[in-house]
Amino acid sequence: MRDPSTISDTNSVSDDRRPLWTRSFAALLVVQFTVALNDNIFRWLLIPIGKELYQDPDAVRSVGSVIFLLPFVLLAGWAGSVVDRYSKRSVMMAAKFAEIVVMVLGIAAILSGNLVFLAVVLFLMGAQSTFFSPAKYGSIPEIVGHRNVPAANGWIGMTTMIAVILGAVIGNAIFSLTTLPNWAERAGGAIGPGQYRWWINAAVLIGVAVVGWLASFFIRRLTAGNPQAKIPVVPFGQCVRDLKLLISHRGLFLAALGSAYFWSLGVVAQLTVDKWAVPELVGPAESGQGLVGPMLAVMTLGIGLGSMLAGWWSGGRIELGMVGFGALGIAISGILFVVIPPGTGYWLSPAYFVACLLLFVLGLTAGLYDIPLLSYLQDRSPPEIRGRILAAYNFLSFLGMLSFSLLFGFAASKGAMAISARGIFLLAGLVTVPIAGLIFVLLPVESLRFLFARLFRLLYRMRVVGVENFPKEGGAVVVSNHISWLDGLIVMLACPRDVRMIAASDYVSKGLAGRLARRAGVIPIPLGRKAMALAMREARETVRNGGVVGLFPEGGISRTGQLIGFKPGVMHLVDDDTPVVPMYIDGLWGSIFSFERRRFFWKIPKRLRYPLTVYIGEPIRGKKSLEQIHRAVGELSVRAASDHRSRFLVPPRRFLRMVRTNLFREKAADSLGMRVTGAKLSIGSLVLRRVLRRTYLADRDAEKYVGVLLPPSVGGLVVNAALAIDRRVSANLNYTVSSEVLNHCIRSCGIRHIITSRRFMERFDFDLEAELIYLEDLRNEAGTWDKVLSALCTYLLPAAVLERLLGLTKIEPDDLLTVVFTSGSTGRPKGVMLSHMNVGSNVESFEQVLDIRADDVL
């Protein structure tokens, strides 16, 4: 049988191009889900068994928690060294096999009814998790790649929380199925708790362990981080050395402390919910114990959803900016628990609903708080010592959990000095307030960036294409087009690394904007050659030191929406060793921050939530020129134009929407004195379409091409619009050529009818090989019902409905719209076949360059 680990996965894919959802990541999710599920099934099976065998439930719960957490403290040194020395896949497979053995011993311990045996099995289960945890978290960057670490952690967090909830439900359920009522009095107590139909316990616990072990084979082979790592004889001494190693990396140490606080607070929250629900919220235990489970489930679900949300909001980068806001949410929700009065809760009561809501918010913000910290630990730990770093982090986390559990026991102990559950939540919230403040002080730029990103996405739907092209490390220069006042912020949001933007000092040196710009590392370019040289030197030093600098080489915001020439100043920043990353911002023309409509800011937005796309091209390396850089950005603009096809609105649909929004505004006029509003254009084209279909033109498939022989006029506009919304192809013929040339054009297209005007044809003596349809005759053919129905469609029917009724939604951008013939000056005229995309894209370009406004008349 073929080893699943050898099946093709993503080994050959570069780190930044590796997808999240691979066979290996799916297998890892299954493996970690089964570990968390079995841990909780076994825990919630042992707790009631321990209560039955030892009549002190609080002692059973406390001692059981300490025994399970003890291996994470005692064996962390061994775990880190083993994870670094061997493949993390191998460590996980070994841990999963050990779990099967532990579950077999667990069944034997339950059948023995011996509390000491049960405690030993619980310790072994904690030991198995001690080795599995750093291997699992350390493998995530290797399996999913740098960009997907936050999203992967979000899925890991979500599935873990689901496993916690399911584990509690299943554990309590199988205890009920395997424990006889009044077991002590029946059969002389020979069948103890969990021993009746014991095979149910065995099937569930061993079955889940086996499924996880089999799933581990589908994780691809991973290389060892440090095959020369030595495994110490005394684990605790190694743990101390691992802690010193963690402390030497300041950023990693702070992240580990922050995440350890999350897990420590989680233990307190779990213990406090039980104490708070019964008896403080709902009264005596016999009336409210059943409400504890849903409250814990709501908090756990909140953590899972918060983890998913954190992964989504991270957007392919380690988003530390959300940590402070997560801590602030924890603090506020913890403090708000005091507003719920005691003894007022019952099922579906307002107090119980508010309690569940606060627990959900607490869990949600806790997920936002922890996922970025955990992702930072995994991604920024050097691969050769990643296992030791994560083992030291586990040591801190579980030491904190043990310490907080003891503090909870002391604070909630019986007596006059005991603190209520509300008091404990309040205390936890108050303690978290300065922690949130410290995070904002340590991470001001990241926090502001995250806040602006969330506000920005309320107004814009931003999509980043090609983020995998961005260099993961080393100095780089980002060059982008400049379309609006928001471009600097957009570049910083789109890039997966921190970018120092170059900006004119007039805009970033004063007031609040200046302070924020300095915090964000913006490099101001002042007036004066000497000051400018110093600023450019700072930018070059940033690049040489491995940083990223961004600038807009056009030298100013585009007044037309089009890419213009680059200034040569960018070449002072780059050398042969510096990669230049081209970027193109598409979609901001028309926003209030662009110069569309010939002004900034003071205009009504054309739409809410502008669709915005940022294209990142492949870095330009080696020797480079200004023209080469300009061409790279220009190629991205071509790609952007090509991508417009997916959301391109064909001209007939644009025409109907334009006239709908300008019903009473004059839109077209000609030299004959004709002046029409949007409503008249719409009614006229709809009436003409109905009359043509009823009187002259054959079925669309039989007569696709229709000739038009009219001067540029309102009549010509209405005729072309009527043919377009009837999904026919118009062929506008040149009336300045001879009959022979016109007949050549007619034969080329297979034209059977030509729409013209008697008044116009009186000027010419054409002998054409097609039947002429005169507008004057069509006007007489139009009946009252044609006009009424067209007016109703214009004034009452929504444009989207009208488009569907006319079949315009079936038109593809590449479908033919019109045929235009060349002049024939060098031979016979050639027919140029123009698609809807050809015409529509030119119309969009004209709108940008000519700045066409709503009150303009064609």
Do residue 78 and residue 104 come from a single domain? Answer: yes
Q: What is the pLDDT of residue 559?
A: 78
A 10 A CB-CB count for 826 gives: 8
Give the residue among 329, 356, 327, 326 at the shortest CA–CA distance from 340. 356
* Cα 75 to Cα 812: distance, rounded to the nearest angstrom: 65
- Close Cβ partners of 23 (under 8 Å, ≥ 6 residues apart): 4, 7, 9, 218, 220
Q: What is the pLDDT of residue 725?
A: 92
* Cα 795 to Cα 659: distance, rounded to the nearest angstrom: 10
Quickly state the pLDDT bin for 97 (edges 50, 70, 90): very high
The partner residues of 831 in beta bridges, in order of sequence, read 821
* Cα 517 to Cα 449: distance, rounded to the nearest angstrom: 11
Give the CA distances from residue 697 to residues 26, 270, 414, 690, 700, in Å, rounded to whole numbers and listed in that order.
60, 77, 94, 10, 8
Q: Which domain holds residue 490?
A: 448-647
Residue 330 has pLDDT above 70, yes or no: yes
Task: Judge whether 674 lies within some domain.
Answer: yes
Give the CA distances from residue 96 to residues 205, 398, 515, in Å, rounded to whole numbers and listed in that order.
12, 21, 53
% of the chain with per-residue pLDDT over 90: 16
Do residue 565 and residue 698 come from a single domain? Answer: no
DSSP-derived 3-state class of residue 229: coil
A 10 A CB-CB count for 59 gives: 12
Do residue 96 and residue 167 come from a single domain? Answer: yes
Task: Judge whether 453 lies within some domain.
Answer: yes
Q: How far is CA 759 from the centre of its chain?
A: 62
**Hey, CA dihedral for 700, 703, 704, 706, is it positive or negative?**
negative
731-748 mean pLDDT: 88
Q: What is the pLDDT of residue 582?
A: 93
The answer to whether residues 573 and 539 touch, using CB atoms and an 8 Å cutoff, is yes
Q: Exposed, middle or buried: residue 239 (CB in 10 Å: 0-12, 13-18, 19+)?
A: buried
Task: Judge whether 776 lies within some domain.
Answer: yes
Do residue 510 and residue 628 come from a single domain? Answer: yes
Residue 673 has pLDDT above 90, yes or no: no
Residue 213 has pLDDT above 80, yes or no: yes
The answer to whether residues 122 and 64 touch, using CB atoms and an 8 Å cutoff, is yes
Q: What is the pLDDT of residue 394?
A: 82
Domain containing residue 42: CATH number: 1.20.1250.20
Structure tokens at 466: 């090609």
The answer to whether residues 574 and 550 touch, using CB atoms and an 8 Å cutoff, is no
Q: How far is CA 834 from the centre of its chain?
A: 38
The answer to whether residues 392 and 84 touch, using CB atoms and an 8 Å cutoff, is no
Q: What is the pLDDT of residue 420?
A: 76
Do residue 718 and residue 806 come from a single domain? Answer: yes
Do residue 664 and residue 633 come from a single domain? Answer: no
Do residue 457 and residue 583 come from a single domain? Answer: yes
Give the CA distances from residue 388 to residues 60, 186, 214, in Å, rounded to whole numbers and listed in that order.
33, 52, 27
Structure tokens at 425: 């939540």
In the numeric block, the tokens 């005394």 are attached to: 234
Backbone angles phi, psi at 553, to 5 degrees: -70, -5
* Cα 583 to Cα 495: distance, rounded to the nearest angstrom: 10
Reported as type and span, the H/E element at residue 548 is: strand 548-551
Domain containing residue 735: CATH number: 3.40.50.12780
Quickly state the pLDDT bin for 4 (edges 50, 70, 90): very low
Residue 207 has pLDDT above 90, yes or no: yes
Do residue 617 and residue 727 come from a single domain? Answer: no
* Cα 795 to Cα 802: distance, rounded to the nearest angstrom: 11
The answer to whether residues 726 and 708 touch, using CB atoms and an 8 Å cutoff, is no
Quickly state the pLDDT bin for 565 (edges 50, 70, 90): confident
Task: Judge whether 512 lies within some domain.
Answer: yes
Q: What is the pLDDT of residue 8?
A: 39
The answer to whether residues 118 and 439 touch, using CB atoms and an 8 Å cutoff, is no
DSSP assignment string, 808-819: GGG--TTSEEEE
Tell me what the pLDDT averaged over the chain comes to: 82
Helix %, strand %, coil % of the chain (to 5):
60, 10, 30
The answer to whether residues 357 and 329 touch, using CB atoms and an 8 Å cutoff, is no
Q: What is the pLDDT of residue 448?
A: 83
Helices (H), 593-644: 626-643
Do residue 625 and residue 517 come from a single domain? Answer: yes
The answer to whether residues 347 and 287 touch, using CB atoms and an 8 Å cutoff, is no
Helices (H), 708-811: 714-725, 739-749, 758-761, 775-781, 784-795, 799-806
Task: Judge whether 9 lies within some domain.
Answer: no
Number of domains within the chain: 3
Domain containing residue 579: CATH number: 3.40.1130.10
The partner residues of 465 in beta bridges, in order of sequence, read 615
Do residue 679 and residue 627 come from a single domain? Answer: no
Task: Judge whether 424 lies within some domain.
Answer: no
Q: Give the total residue count for the chain.
A: 858
The partner residues of 477 in beta bridges, in order of sequence, read 549, 580
For the stretch 810-855, pLDDT in tens is 988 889 999 998 876 677 888 889 998 888 888 877 776 666 777 7
In the numeric block, the tokens 């479908």 are attached to: 815
Structure tokens at 17: 């191009």
Higher pLDDT, 786 or 69: 786
Task: Judge whether 312 lies within some domain.
Answer: no
* Cα 550 to Cα 483: distance, rounded to the nearest angstrom: 15
Most confident of the following: 205-219, 409-423, 772-786: 205-219
The answer to whether residues 660 and 682 touch, using CB atoms and an 8 Å cutoff, is yes
67-86 mean pLDDT: 82
Do residue 758 and residue 626 come from a single domain? Answer: no
- Which of 591, 615, 647 is the endpoint of a domain? 647
Task: Judge whether 609 lies within some domain.
Answer: yes
Task: Tell me how many helices (H) and strands (E) the chain has.
Answer: 30, 15
Most confident of the following: 53-57, 269-273, 629-633: 629-633
Backbone angles phi, psi at 624, to 5 degrees: -145, 155
Reported as type and span, the H/E element at residue 139 is: helix 115-144
Q: What is the pLDDT of residue 13?
A: 41
In the numeric block, the tokens 């009452």 are attached to: 796
In this structure, which amino acid lies at residue 19? P
Give the residue among 603, 601, 553 at the shortest CA–CA distance from 573. 553
Q: Exposed, middle or buried: residue 738 (CB in 10 Å: 0-12, 13-18, 19+)?
A: exposed
- Which of 229, 258, 291 is the endpoint of a domain? 229
- Which of 647, 664, 689 is the endpoint of a domain? 647
Q: What is the pLDDT of residue 5?
A: 42
Q: What is the pLDDT of residue 9?
A: 45
- Close Cβ partners of 742 (under 8 Å, ≥ 6 residues apart): 733, 734, 766, 768
For the stretch 424-463, pLDDT in tens is 888 889 999 999 999 998 888 888 888 888 888 887 888 8
Quickly state the pLDDT bin for 598 (edges 50, 70, 90): low
Do residue 681 and residue 811 come from a single domain? Answer: yes
Reported as type and span, the H/E element at residue 772 is: strand 771-774
In this structure, which amino acid lies at residue 53? L
In this structure, which amino acid lies at residue 477? V
Q: How far is CA 55 from the centre of its chain?
A: 51
The answer to whether residues 510 and 583 touch, using CB atoms and an 8 Å cutoff, is no
- Close Cβ partners of 176 (under 8 Å, ≥ 6 residues apart): none
141-150 mean pLDDT: 84
- Rg over CA atoms, the chain: 36
Q: What is the pLDDT of residue 581?
A: 92
Residue 186 has pLDDT above 70, yes or no: no
Residue 3 has pLDDT above 60, yes or no: no
* Cα 346 to Cα 351: distance, rounded to the nearest angstrom: 8
* Cα 37 to Cα 167: distance, rounded to the nearest angstrom: 5
For the stretch 13-68, pLDDT in tens is 445 556 778 889 899 999 999 998 998 888 888 877 777 777 666 666 667 777 88
A 10 A CB-CB count for 8 gives: 8
Q: What is the pLDDT of residue 56?
A: 62
Show the 3-state SS of 483-533.
Answer: CCCCHHHHHHHHCCCCCEEEEEHHHHCCHHHHHHHHHCCCEEECCCHHHHH
DSSP-derived 3-state class of residue 689: helix
